[in-house]
């Protein structure tokens, strides 16, 4: 897209004036929590170096210490030019786990609580021309009240829980903007009206003293389709415009997996007659809907062929080594013949979503869960989930939001009304913020209110898998029988209402290893792997009411060896073999 800038961390909302702060920083552990008392933000002690944005637990950080440290500090120098000082300077963090405090030149700027969403600080009043000092403290824990996803909450890893992620794990960067600027834009394309609903968010502005306007230009493949200039009267304002201006010849280009068409869009913010901010972006026009028990993309029935991806790399854990690694993963998924990806218990680098938009890969976006149910965990989770939805709303590749997986953080949801109320509140909250996508409130089992009913079943015998879901009484679907040994498909008081059904976790086939862990009995070689994979997938395809599946998983992750690729992205099985099986439905 026109807005694309390599390595730019926010590809849906780009400006030309920015600076990447990744690279070497000073670093120190603070196990006794004495850094604030000793004034590390005024005189940082000489200690280690770290390669940001890789956490100290990883090889690419340059430290590779997998033990638990609850408090870490970062420090670096930053040169600010006279030209930059004429503007407002924003310090952005794409992700830092978990409580982040920032000082500039010894002055406390503020803090953020959360691990998975972007946050920013206005540092305009704290920097000077020339050399500046940035100091960052990050506090983490093994608390189950934190949204932590697959990060372990014990000091040792086990089964499918992995080494913790502590501190800065996504890009840190600067941008400089005008004194009044566009903070965000929310785009909602309407296919039926062939128009675009745009919600602007400006930095707080005195509209009584000055006139502000926004100019919006939409184009496709270099052809300008429409342009408008609208007055702005409030900080939050809706603007509606047709995608194609009357008299311009253009057939609406829909976004789909086969043709991921995207429109360029440019925003110019005016104060009186002067342009004070310019932002480039893009959007895709697509519609995801349900009719009966089937899912439709742009009015055409969609059979979902997803693969589960946890987004871990051997040398860098949750942080992608570079943008090229994200692209390679997406291309591998497509090469295997899948049309979508379930990003499991992680909010991925936004560049990943950009390339899914460009290449036509569907995304189920799933939040990292807490493991407690109490007031603190509810607040931590909900606050960050709201930020995630707002942050990634504009990406057309996302078709489904998944706040909770397998009742994690709501362990008594099957019978507990309070936990059911929380799950349902997440469903309604998510729908209130975004009614253009589907919502699965609790993926896998013990469903309450949900647009899709999802099943997790790792039976390794294809005949038993098929028989479980095709019995005459439909015992699992009608909540008459536990499956997976202990779970009912619906929480108490809820029942199947005719929604689409997806086998959203199955397989998990591991080739024999003395050290690795996998679901079920491991296969002895590749031939046995292909045989089991083929039979399991065909069994799901032959269940008439199921509308898709999600295979576990794309890559090995640390001790878990269920991947179609190993942890270094080497193919275990030739992609064409997997693609041939996926093409049979």
With beta carbons less than 8 A apart as the criterion, state whether 35 and 137 touch.
Answer: yes
What crossing angle do the helices spanning 462-469 and 526-541 adopt, rounded to 10°? Answer: 10
Q: How far apart are the C-alpha atoms of 360 and 356, rounded to whole Å? A: 6
385-418: buried (b, 16+ CB within 10 Å) or exposed (e) per residue? bebbbbbbbbbbbbbbbbbbbbbbbbeebbeeee
Give the CATH H-level superfamily of domain 302-582. Answer: Glycosidases (3.20.20.80)
Q: How far apart are the C-alpha atoms of 157 and 68, rounded to whole Å? A: 12
Domain boundaries in the chain?
22-170, 182-283, 302-582
Q: Which of 56, 72, 52 shows the shortest CA–CA distance to 64?
A: 56
Per-residue pLDDT of the chain (585 residues), as tens digits, is 999 999 999 999 999 999 999 999 999 999 999 999 999 999 999 889 999 999 999 999 999 999 999 999 999 999 999 999 999 999 999 999 999 999 999 999 999 999 999 999 999 999 999 999 999 999 999 999 999 999 999 999 999 999 999 999 999 999 999 999 999 999 999 999 999 999 999 987 777 889 999 999 999 999 999 999 999 999 899 999 999 999 999 999 999 999 999 999 999 999 999 999 999 999 999 999 999 999 999 999 999 999 999 999 999 999 999 999 999 999 999 999 999 999 999 999 999 999 999 999 999 999 999 999 999 999 999 999 999 999 999 999 999 999 999 999 999 999 999 999 999 999 999 999 999 999 999 999 999 999 999 999 999 999 999 999 999 999 999 999 999 878 999 999 999 999 999 999 999 999 988 788 888 889 999 999 999 999 999 999 999 999 999 999 999 999 999 999 999 999 999 999 999 999 998
Determine if the peptide bond prior to 394 is cis (ω within 30°): no
At 38, is the secondary structure helix, strand, or coil? helix
Q: Which of 42, 80, 41, 72 shows the shortest CA–CA distance to 56?
A: 72
Kindly report the number of other CB atoms within 10 A of residue 538's CB atom: 14
Kindly report the number of other CB atoms within 10 A of residue 43's CB atom: 12
Cβ contacts of residue 485 below 8 Å, gap of 6+? none
**Percentages of the chain per state (helix, strand, coil), in multiples of 5:** 15, 35, 45
| Cα–Cα distances in angstroms (integers) from residue 389 to residues 186, 308, 349, 382, 432, in the given order | 11, 20, 14, 11, 11
For residue 251, with 0-12 CB atoms within 10 Å meaning exposed, 13-18 middle and 19 or more buried, which class applies? exposed
Q: How far apart are the C-alpha atoms of 530 and 540, rounded to whole Å? A: 16
Kindly report the number of other CB atoms within 10 A of residue 113's CB atom: 14
3-state secondary structure 491-531: CCCCCCCCCCEEEEEEECCCECCCCCECCCCCECCHHHHHH
With beta carbons less than 8 A apart as the criterion, state whether 318 and 54 touch.
Answer: no
Q: How far apart are the C-alpha atoms of 369 and 343, rounded to whole Å? A: 13
**DSSP notation for 318-344:** TS-SSHHHHHHHHHHHHHTT-SEEEET
465 phi, psi to nearest 5 deg: -60, -45
With beta carbons less than 8 A apart as the criterion, state whether 275 and 311 touch.
Answer: no
Q: Which of 346, 407, 380, 267 shows the shortest CA–CA distance to 555?
A: 346
Q: How far apart are the first and last CA of the chain?
A: 32
pLDDT of 204 reads 74
Q: How far apart are the C-alpha atoms of 117 and 320, rounded to whole Å? A: 16
The strand order across the sheet containing 88-93 reads 18-20, 172-177, 88-93, 119-122
- Predicted TM-score (pTM) of the model is 0.97
Element (H, E) at 190: strand 182-190
Cβ contacts of residue 212 below 8 Å, gap of 6+? 180, 202, 205, 231, 232, 269, 270, 271
Kindly report the number of other CB atoms within 10 A of residue 294's CB atom: 13
Kindly report the number of other CB atoms within 10 A of residue 558's CB atom: 19
DSSP-assigned beta bridge partners for residue 378: none
CATH topology for the 182-283 domain: Immunoglobulin-like (2.60.40)
Element (H, E) at 386: helix 375-392
pLDDT of 585 reads 81
| CATH number, span 22-170 | 2.60.120.260
Q: What is the total residue count of the chain? A: 585
Q: Which of 120, 112, 132 shows the shortest CA–CA distance to 92?
A: 120
Cβ contacts of residue 25 below 8 Å, gap of 6+? 49, 50, 51, 52, 74, 75, 76
Kindly report the number of other CB atoms within 10 A of residue 527's CB atom: 9
Q: How far apart are the C-alpha atoms of 113 and 383, rounded to whole Å? A: 9
Q: How far apart are the C-alpha atoms of 211 and 205, rounded to whole Å? A: 10
Q: How far apart are the C-alpha atoms of 262 and 264, rounded to whole Å? A: 7
Q: How far apart are the C-alpha atoms of 330 and 173, rounded to whole Å? A: 25
Q: How far apart are the C-alpha atoms of 214 and 532, rounded to whole Å? A: 57
Rg (CA), the chain: 25
């Amino acid at each position: 897209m026109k807005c694309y800038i390599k390595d730019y961390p926010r590809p849906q909302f780009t400006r030309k004036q920015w600076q990447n702060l990744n690279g070497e920083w000073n670093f120190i552990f603070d196990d006794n929590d004495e850094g604030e008392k000793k004034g590390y933000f005024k005189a940082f002690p000489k200690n280690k170096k770290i390669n940001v944005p890789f956490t100290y637990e990883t090889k690419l950080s340059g430290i590779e210490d997998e033990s638990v440290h609850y408090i870490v500090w970062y420090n670096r120098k930053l040169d600010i030019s006279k030209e930059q000082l004429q503007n407002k300077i924003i310090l952005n963090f794409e992700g830092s786990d978990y409580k982040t405090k920032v000082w500039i030149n010894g002055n406390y700027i503020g803090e953020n609580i959360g691990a998975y969403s972007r946050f920013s600080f206005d540092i305009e009043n704290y920097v000077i021309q020339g050399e500046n000092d940035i100091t960052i403290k990050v506090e983490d824990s093994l608390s189950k009240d934190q949204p932590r996803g697959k990060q372990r909450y014990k000091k040792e890893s086990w089964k499918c829980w992995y080494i913790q992620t502590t501190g800065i794990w996504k890009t840190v960067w600067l941008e400089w903007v005008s004194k009044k600027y566009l903070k965000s834009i929310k785009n909602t394309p309407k296919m039926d009206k062939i128009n675009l609903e745009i919600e602007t968010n400006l930095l707080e502005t005195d509209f009584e003293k000055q006139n502000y306007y926004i100019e919006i230009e939409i184009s496709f493949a270099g052809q300008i389709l429409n342009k408008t200039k609208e007055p702005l009267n409030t900080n939050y304002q809706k603007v509606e415009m047709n995608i194609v201006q009357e008299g311009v010849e253009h057939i609406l280009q829909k976004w789909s997996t086969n043709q991921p068409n995207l429109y360029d869009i440019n925003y110019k913010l005016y104060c009186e007659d002067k342009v004070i901010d310019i932002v480039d972006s893009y959007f895709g026009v697509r519609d995801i809907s349900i009719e009966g028990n089937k899912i439709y993309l742009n009015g055409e029935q969609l059979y979902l062929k997803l693969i589960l991806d946890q987004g871990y790399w051997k040398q860098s854990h949750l942080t992608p080594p570079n943008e090229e690694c994200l692209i390679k993963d997406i291309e591998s998924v497509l090469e295997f013949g899948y049309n979508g990806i379930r990003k499991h218990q992680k909010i991925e680098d936004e560049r990943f979503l950009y390339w899914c938009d460009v290449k036509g890969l569907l995304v189920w976006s799933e939040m990292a869960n807490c493991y407690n149910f109490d007031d603190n965990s509810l607040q931590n989770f909900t606050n960050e989930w709201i930020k995630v939805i707002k942050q990634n709303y504009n990406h057309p590749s996302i078709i489904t939001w998944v706040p909770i997986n397998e009742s994690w953080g709501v362990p008594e949801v099957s019978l507990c009304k309070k936990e059911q109320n929380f799950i349902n509140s997440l469903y309604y909250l998510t729908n209130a913020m975004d009614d253009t996508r589907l919502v699965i409130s609790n993926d896998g089992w013990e469903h309450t209110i949900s647009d899709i009913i999802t099943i997790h079943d790792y039976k390794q015998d294809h005949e038993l898998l098929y028989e479980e879901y095709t019995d005459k009484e439909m015992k699992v679907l009608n909540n008459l029988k536990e499956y997976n040994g202990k779970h009912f498909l619906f929480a108490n008081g809820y029942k199947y209402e005719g929604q689409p059904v997806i086998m959203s976790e199955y397989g998990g086939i591991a080739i024999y290893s003395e050290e690795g862990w996998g679901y079920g009995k491991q296969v002895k070689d590749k031939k046995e792997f292909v045989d089991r994979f083929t039979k399991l997938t065909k069994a799901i395809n032959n269940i008439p009411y199921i509308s898709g599946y999600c295979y576990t998983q794309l890559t090995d992750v640390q001790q878990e060896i269920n991947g179609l690729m190993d942890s270094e992205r080497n193919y275990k099985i030739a992609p064409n073999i997997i693609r041939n099986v996926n093409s049979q439905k």
